[in-house]
Amino acid sequence: MSQPVEPIFSLRDSEIRAMPKGSDSSSLVHLNIGGKKFCTTVDTLTQCEPDSMLAAMFSGRHTVCEDPQKGYVFVDRDGKHFRHILNWLRDGVVPTLKDFEYSELLREAEYYQLRGLIDGINAILNKRKEDDEINTELTRTDIIMCIQSERVRFRGVNLSGLDLSKLDLSFVDFSYGCLKNVFFSRANLQCAKFRDVDAEGSIFHNATLRECEFNGANLRGALLAGANLQSANLQDACLVDCSFFEADLRSAHLQNADLTNANLENAILEGANLKGAKLSNANLKGANLQRAYLRQVNLRDTHLEGAKLDGANLLGAIR
């Protein structure tokens, strides 16, 4: 489960001006959530989750700073999932989403202190994990027994939801398998093969992935923070919404990879090949891109503050 997020708004009276007494609880409220604008009512924001941050803000005891010209209350959060927040407050139904989207929504629910929504999301994720374990063809014990042999292949096998953390899985062939939500944290996966796997939402935190093959793999929403991916082959892989925070991607092959919304903050991409990669809204703040191949890559919507680009091939790159 993700850690609770400290809200930017403080609800102390000294920091939030008092709302006019007797304000109409059904009056309209205009919100600007990270640039996305919403219109709702005080009733919606206060009745379903009375102990939430939103309820406190619009309870009549407090008010927030409002743009006097545009009339919107600004909240410095990503507005991508705020419509789900409002719909939850309106009808109490948890939306149907993919696992990585639930992780994002959970973070927002924790920020706004929506306890009912948090419990609802966790219940769905736990149910999905149980279903994955029921449908999984092998157990962790089966895997441990198998890797004791010299040559191990799990090609096309469904291992969804398994905990394979801290195991030595070097040189294992997982190609074409279903690895959704598998825990590979701190596992040794050097030279392992993941060609065309579906590993959406899997956890590779601090795993060793040197010289791995991820050609054509679906890693949407996967966590690879701190992983060692030196010389790994991620060509044509779906890496949308992945976290590579402080990962080592030196000399990695990322040609034509889709890194839309990926977090590569402080990652080491020295000498990496990103020819044809999609980097829309990718976070490369503080990343080491020295001698990286970025020729003709579109960097217009990429966050590059503090990135090192010494010696990088930027010929024809759009900036």
Name every residue whose Cβ is closer than 8 Å to that of residue 11 and which is 6 or more positions away in sequence: 53, 56, 57, 62
Predicted pLDDT at 132? 66
* CATH number, domain with residue 33: 3.30.710.10
Which of 97, 130, 163 is the last residue before a domain boundary? Answer: 130
Between the CA of residue 15 and those of 8, 64, 95, 99, 157, what are the distances in Å? 12, 9, 34, 37, 56
Integer Rg of the chain from CA: 23
Convert the pLDDT of each residue in 188-212 to its tens digit. 999 999 999 999 999 999 999 999 9
Please indicate, yes or no, whether residues 122 and 64 belong to a single structural domain of this protein.
yes
Please indicate, yes or no, whether residues 184 and 239 belong to a single structural domain of this protein.
yes
* Per-residue pLDDT at 40 exceeds 60: yes
Count how many domains the chain has.
Answer: 2
Nearest CA among 231, 211, 209 for reference residue 222: 209
Convert the pLDDT of each residue in 295-313 to its tens digit. 989 998 999 999 999 999 9
Structure tokens at 68: 């006097």
Q: Classify residue 7: in a domain, yes or no.
A: no
* CATH number, domain with residue 151: 2.160.20.80
* Per-residue pLDDT at 1 exceeds 50: no
Residue with the larger pLDDT of the pair 7 and 130: 130
Please indicate, yes or no, whether residues 88 and 189 belong to a single structural domain of this protein.
no
**Please, what is the Cα angle at 239 between 236 and 240, to 5 degrees?**
125
On average, the pLDDT of the chain sits at: 85
Which long-range contacts (C-beta less than 8 Å, at least 24 apart) are formed by 121-130?
121/94, 122/1, 124/94, 125/99, 128/99, 128/181, 129/161, 129/181
Please indicate, yes or no, whether residues 65 and 196 belong to a single structural domain of this protein.
no
Q: Classify residue 111: in a domain, yes or no.
A: yes
Please indicate, yes or no, whether residues 95 and 170 belong to a single structural domain of this protein.
no
Please indicate, yes or no, whether residues 276 and 317 belong to a single structural domain of this protein.
yes
The rounded distance, in Å, linking the Cα atoms of 200 and 132 is 13
Structure tokens at 317: 């790159």
* Per-residue pLDDT at 12 exceeds 90: no
Please indicate, yes or no, whether residues 172 and 316 belong to a single structural domain of this protein.
yes
Q: Classify residue 154: in a domain, yes or no.
A: yes
Convert the pLDDT of each residue in 133-164 to its tens digit. 556 667 777 787 777 665 678 899 999 989 99
* Per-residue pLDDT at 13 exceeds 80: no
Q: Classify residue 10: in a domain, yes or no.
A: no
Express as a percent the part of the chain with pLDDT over 70: 85
How many C-beta atoms lie closer than 10 Å to residue 90's C-beta? Answer: 14
Sorting pLDDT into bands at 50, 70 and 90, what band is 17? very low
Which of 78, 104, 130 is the last residue before a domain boundary? Answer: 130
Runs of H (alpha helix) within the chain? 42-46, 53-57, 82-91, 99-111, 115-135, 140-146
Predicted pLDDT at 236? 97
Between the CA of residue 147 and those of 169, 173, 181, 196, 288, what are the distances in Å? 7, 11, 20, 21, 36
Please indicate, yes or no, whether residues 104 and 190 belong to a single structural domain of this protein.
no
Predicted pLDDT at 38? 92
Predicted pLDDT at 146? 75
Q: Classify residue 41: in a domain, yes or no.
A: yes
Full residue range of the structural domain in which residue 253 is found: 136-319
Going by the DSSP 8-state scheme, the letter that residue 40 receives in this structure is E
Please indicate, yes or no, whether residues 155 and 101 belong to a single structural domain of this protein.
no
Convert the pLDDT of each residue in 84-126 to its tens digit. 999 999 988 899 888 788 888 998 999 889 999 999 998 888 8
Contact 212, 233 (CB under 8 A): yes
Convert the pLDDT of each residue in 214-266 to its tens digit. 999 999 999 999 999 999 999 999 999 999 999 999 999 999 999 999 999 99
Please indicate, yes or no, whether residues 257 and 272 belong to a single structural domain of this protein.
yes
Structure tokens at 124: 């769905």
Sorting pLDDT into bands at 50, 70 and 90, what band is 64? low
Please indicate, yes or no, whether residues 116 and 250 belong to a single structural domain of this protein.
no
Residue with structure tokens 């030279």? 191
Name every residue whose Cβ is closer than 8 Å to that of residue 138 and which is 6 or more positions away in sequence: 146, 154, 157, 159, 162
Which of 130, 165, 180 is the last residue before a domain boundary? Answer: 130
How would you classify residue 226: left for phi > 0, otherwise alpha for psi between -120 and 50, otherwise beta? left
Please indicate, yes or no, whether residues 117 and 164 belong to a single structural domain of this protein.
no
Sorting pLDDT into bands at 50, 70 and 90, what band is 51? confident
The number of angstroms, rounded, from the C-alpha of 12 to the middle of its chain's C-alpha atoms is: 31
Residue with structure tokens 């990879």? 257
The number of angstroms, rounded, from the C-alpha of 202 to the middle of its chain's C-alpha atoms is: 11
Q: Classify residue 22: in a domain, yes or no.
A: no
Name every residue whose Cβ is closer than 8 Å to that of residue 234 and which is 6 or more positions away in sequence: 214, 215, 217, 252, 253, 254, 257
Between the CA of residue 79 and those of 74, 105, 221, 243, 269, what are the distances in Å? 11, 10, 18, 19, 30
Q: Classify residue 21: in a domain, yes or no.
A: no
- The strand pairing partners of 74, in sequence order, are 32
Predicted pLDDT at 213? 97
The rounded distance, in Å, linking the Cα atoms of 82 and 84 is 5
Q: Classify residue 252: in a domain, yes or no.
A: yes
